Amino acid sequence: MNKPIPYGRQHITDEDIAAVTAVLRSPYLTQGPKIGELEESFADYIGSTYAVAVANGTAALHLCCLALGVTEGTRVITTPITFSASANCVRYCGGDVFFADVDPDTVLLDPNAVRKLLESHPQGYFSGIIPVDFAGYPVDMVAFRELADEFGLWIIEDACHAPGASFVSETGIEHRAGDGLLADLAIFSFHPVKHIAAGEGGMITTNNESLYKHLLRLRTHGITNKPLEFTTPYADEPERGGWYMELQELGYNYRLTDIQAALALSQLERADTMLDRRRELAARYDLAFSEAASAGIPVQIIVPPAGVGHAYHLYVIQTLDRKELYDFLRTKEILAQVHYVPVHLMPYYQNLGGKPGDFPNAERYYAGCLSLPLFPTLTNEEQDYVIDNVAAFFKSSR
Ligand SMILES: *Cc1c(COP(=O)(O)O)cnc(C)c1O
């Protein structure tokens, strides 16, 4: 058994290492052929038409906000139970973040709470929604699309936790997180704790061609070699040399390197196997804790209904003894974690008006949540050690 046992860990194989070293021996270290290969394979895996590789998930969110025109005063709604980047991206562009509460049964942004917020303001007050597939549980994107259409909003799906997640709509259609059918844009992260590791890295998926082209330009400074008509004295076709390029708007250097792309591409080949293992481990936890519950062990778990393909980035239990359990597990070298401190209560967002009591479901969830170790290389033996220690904690604390 490898101790300590973290809540998440990357899995690097000899094939991954070979893929990376092959790039190091090649002529391209950044934005070479691996980027296009990764984008094509990722779009294929997710089921979207287009994919744009970027430096990290946060950069992906930032570029999405820019492409959708978020600017000073633009109002955007997101969930308090997420990594802060889901909200920060709006602030990068000068926009204002509004939160709405989560559904306690799923811990996902509650479409009914969003509707209430929308209906309490004039039409046109808000511009967009950023729902998050928290822990890997895909949001009900059909409900958000309906809201978006009714109130004239765009949707960025933060699918960092959910590559491979899916759900079946009431009309029987299967949707995959980020497939571009309902959300305008979706974003993913290749941080090592996420499903696919590239060191750092991110991806945007979409079915919208004009957003896609805009994102490609924003990713490299806003510079392009395809000139707007006659915008500089040098853009005119007969005068233009092969070197010619022009800055058309303010973009960023948010490129991914070929080194990272090769690693992500190699990992992507195992995505289904790794997802299956996450689901298998989650099912083992489910079994252990539902049996334990009947034996009087007070942990609450979230078991999605049939038709929901959870991607299990995190396995979260809820207990009234969270702090004591967290500390106890540390003494056993089990590094459980908490996801997340509600974003509206972060000092930065409190300074912008957030305060305790704003979102009772989110705050109640936070008070009891604990993410147990879950990653594809976690062995059954290691997982049993985790389960046994959770059980031992409750036995000794009574
Ligand atoms: C990881 C994560 C991000 C940011 O991704 P980075 O690649 O770390 O920048 C954004 N949103 C959520 C929900 C995440 O988990």
Q: What is 185-253 written as a DSSP string?
A: EEEEE--TTSSS--SS-EEEEES-HHHHHHHHHHHBTTEESSPPTT-STT-SGGG--TT--EE-S---B
- CATH number at 302 reads 3.90.1150.10
Q: Is 88 in the pocket of ligand 1 (CB under 6 A)?
A: no
Q: Is the model's pLDDT at 242 over the cut of 90?
A: no
- Name which of 105-114, 228-237, 286-295, 298-307 the model is least confident about: 228-237
Task: Looking at the structure, tell me whether residues 355 and 250 fall in a common domain.
Answer: no
Task: Looking at the structure, tell me whether residues 206 and 349 fall in a common domain.
Answer: no
- Nearest ligand 1 atom, CA 202: 7
H/E segment holding residue 277: helix 271-294
Tokens representing 228 are 């707007």
Compute the average pLDDT of residues 205-230: 91
Q: Is 260 in the pocket of ligand 1 (CB under 6 A)?
A: no
Q: Is 162 in the pocket of ligand 1 (CB under 6 A)?
A: no
The boundaries of the domain holding residue 264 are 5-268
Q: Is the model's pLDDT at 398 over the cut of 80?
A: no
Å from CA of 8 to ligand 1 middle:
14
- CATH number at 98 reads 3.40.640.10
Q: Is 158 in the pocket of ligand 1 (CB under 6 A)?
A: yes
Task: Looking at the structure, tell me whether residues 257 and 276 fall in a common domain.
Answer: no
- Name which of 38-47, 230-239, 320-329 the model is least confident about: 230-239
- Listed in sequence order, the residues at least 6 apart from 72 whose beta carbon sits closer than 8 Å to its beta carbon are 93, 94, 95
Task: Looking at the structure, tell me whether residues 209 and 67 fall in a common domain.
Answer: yes
Q: Is the model's pLDDT at 25 over the cut of 70?
A: yes
Q: What pLDDT score does 393 carry?
A: 95
Q: Residue 312 and residue 327: Cα distance in Å, rounded?
A: 24
Q: Is the model's pLDDT at 293 over the cut of 70?
A: no
Å from CA of 127 to ligand 1 middle:
22
Compute the average pLDDT of residues 317-346: 97
Tokens representing 10 are 């990357």
Q: Is the model's pLDDT at 294 over the cut of 90?
A: no
DSSP string, 367-382: HHEEEEP--TT--HHH
- Nearest ligand 1 atom, CA 59: 9
Taking each continuous run of H as one helix and of E as one strand, the counts in the chain are: 13, 17
Task: Looking at the structure, tell me whether residues 263 and 283 fall in a common domain.
Answer: no
Last residue of a domain, which of 234, 252, 268? Answer: 268
Task: Looking at the structure, tell me whether residues 325 and 372 fall in a common domain.
Answer: yes
- Name which of 4-13, 192-201, 233-242, 294-303 the model is least confident about: 233-242
Q: Is the model's pLDDT at 251 over the cut of 90?
A: yes
> Phi-psi bin for 124: left (phi > 0), alpha (psi -120 to 50), beta?
left
Q: SS3 of 134, please?
A: helix
Given a contact cutoff of 8 angstroms between Cβ atoms, the answer to whether 34 and 46 are in contact is: no
Q: Is the model's pLDDT at 140 over the cut of 90?
A: yes
Task: Looking at the structure, tell me whether residues 255 and 299 fall in a common domain.
Answer: no
Give how far the C-alpha of residue 353 lies from the chain's centroid of Cα atoms, to the nearest Å.
25
Task: Looking at the structure, tell me whether residues 87 and 143 fall in a common domain.
Answer: yes
Q: Is the model's pLDDT at 44 over the cut of 90?
A: yes
The residue whose CB lies within 8 Å of the most ligand 1 atoms, and thus the one to mutate among 10, 56, 58, is: 58
Phi, psi of 187 (to 5 degrees): -130, 150
Q: Is 86 in the pocket of ligand 1 (CB under 6 A)?
A: yes
What is the residue with the minimal CA distance to atom 7 of ligand 1?
57
Given a contact cutoff of 8 angstroms between Cβ atoms, the answer to whether 272 and 376 are in contact is: no
Q: Is the model's pLDDT at 39 over the cut of 90?
A: yes
Task: Looking at the structure, tell me whether residues 119 and 46 fall in a common domain.
Answer: yes
Binning pLDDT at 50, 70 and 90, where does residue 226 land? confident
Q: Is 189 in the pocket of ligand 1 (CB under 6 A)?
A: yes
Residues annotated catalytic, as ranges = 194
Q: What pLDDT score does 158 carry?
A: 98
User: Is 0.85 surpassed by the pTM of this model?
Assistant: yes
Å from CA of 100 to ligand 1 middle:
20
Q: What pLDDT score does 170 carry?
A: 87
Å from CA of 197 to ligand 1 middle:
12
The residue whose CB lies within 8 Å of the most ligand 1 atoms, and thus the one to mutate among 7, 64, 86, is: 86
- Nearest ligand 1 atom, CA 189: 7
Last residue of a domain, which of 268, 302, 328? Answer: 268
Task: Looking at the structure, tell me whether residues 44 and 167 fall in a common domain.
Answer: yes
Å from CA of 214 to ligand 1 middle:
22
Can the peptide bond before residue 340 be classed as cis, meaning omega within 30 degrees of 0?
A: yes
- 180-212 residue pLDDT tens: 999 999 999 999 999 999 999 999 999 999 999
Q: What pLDDT score does 394 carry?
A: 92
Task: Looking at the structure, tell me whether residues 313 and 256 fall in a common domain.
Answer: no
Å from CA of 76 to ligand 1 middle:
18
Q: Is the model's pLDDT at 23 over the cut of 70?
A: yes
Task: Looking at the structure, tell me whether residues 116 and 206 fall in a common domain.
Answer: yes
Last residue of a domain, which of 268, 292, 308? Answer: 268
Compute the average pLDDT of residues 303-328: 97
Q: Is the model's pLDDT at 318 over the cut of 90?
A: yes
Compute the average pLDDT of residues 126-132: 98
Compute the average pLDDT of residues 302-313: 96
Q: Is 136 in the pocket of ligand 1 (CB under 6 A)?
A: no
The rounded mean pLDDT for the chain is 95
Provide the domain count of the chain: 2
